[in-house]
Amino acid sequence: MHKEKIKENNIAKFPVSIDCNIKIYEENLMPLMYINKHMRLLYFVYSDAVVKFDSREIDIKAGEILVLPPDLLYSIRAKNEQAMYHSITIERNFCECLDFKLNEFNILKLIDNAEVKNHFEQMVLDYKIGKELYKIKILSEALSVLNHLYKLSADNYKNSLTASENNKLSAIKNAILHIEQNFNKSISVDDLSDITKTDKSYFSRVFKEITGIPPIEYINRYRCKKAECMLKTNNKAVSEIARLCGFDNLSYFTRTYKKYIGSLPSKTMQR
């Protein structure tokens, strides 16, 4: 069994990232929307889910594959108590080096496509077994998937938004990108409206319209998600992690974290 895991932060060395058995749960809160930065294939292996992308939603059943192109604003939630999927990420620059026209590619749901499913399952198997030259095998399968996707039509999900709707989406994507890159710093709604060149009240209304969440709640929940990851993976003090995630007040961080994560930061650290 190989020891190395092909992670996205290693993507410059190897253009394919594989994550298996990702579990998602039915939530009382609206799930956060993220900007997809690479070409991603999601293979749902257990139960059903709902994927919201831009301003639309798709129901996904177990056994189906969803292809997400870069620059897509999306979220995933389970329809029942829990769903699970495998994820394969093919790095954006790698696709572009192959002249794969990502700007012309749209979201695509594959229901009964045996060829792509077989390539996907083989990549997951090669990754799990990790035999000699497994990276070459994975890369070969990934190239086969890209070749097959290039031939497929995504007409059912082509962009049918108006110019006004596209402008709204572009503004919200820019705001979320700013939050992702500056979550450790002070961020206000005024900052986000300035960045997107929109009126503050208009920006707040459109942000909630598209994401389902007010801007300040999104910022705090994103920071808490980052803090949760840090609490699980390093030995820094809770106060230091709070500061690194943009919270100047430890008491406020603790209350906010408990509200959105469901437990105290110290409990997360002990797990």
Note down pLDDT in tens along the chain; length 271 residues: 333 444 444 444 789 999 999 999 887 788 999 999 999 999 999 889 999 988 788 899 999 999 898 988 999 999 888 999 999 999 999 988 888 877 777 777 877 788 889 999 999 999 988 888 899 999 999 999 888 887 775 444 555 678 888 899 999 999 999 999 999 999 999 999 999 999 999 999 999 999 999 999 999 999 999 999 999 988 899 999 999 999 999 999 999 999 999 999 999 886 6
8-157 belongs to CATH 2.60.120.280: yes
- Residue tagged 């049918």 (tokens): 160
Q: Which amino acid, residue 171?
A: A
> In the prediction, which pLDDT does 41 show?
92
> In the prediction, which pLDDT does 165 show?
84
- Residue tagged 């008491």 (tokens): 251
* Eight-class DSSP state of 242: H
* Spatial distance between the Cα atoms of 104 and 70, rounded to a whole number of angstroms: 11
Encode burial over 114-128: b for 16+ CB neighbours within 10 A, e otherwise: eebbebbebbbebbe
CA 107 from chain centre, in angstroms, equals: 14
pTM above 0.75, yes or no: yes
- Considering the chain, tell me which residue range(s) the CATH 2.60.120.280 domain(s) occupy: 8-157
> In the prediction, which pLDDT does 7 show?
42
Contact 44, 64 (CB under 8 A): yes
User: Nearest to residue 23, comparing CAs of 107, 80, 72, 89?
Assistant: 80
- Considering the chain, tell me which residue range(s) the CATH 1.10.10.60 domain(s) occupy: 163-270
163-270 belongs to CATH 1.10.1060.10: no
> In the prediction, which pLDDT does 153 show?
53
> In the prediction, which pLDDT does 99 show?
85
For the four alpha carbons of 178, 184, 186 and 189, in that order, the dihedral sign comes to positive
User: Nearest to residue 120, comparing CAs of 154, 155, 146?
Assistant: 146
Kindly state the tokens that stand for 149: 């996707």
> In the prediction, which pLDDT does 3 show?
35
Instruction: Mark out the alpha helices in the chain (DSSP H runs).
Output: 92-97, 114-129, 134-151, 163-182, 189-195, 200-211, 215-233, 238-244, 250-261, 265-270
> In the prediction, which pLDDT does 53 show?
87
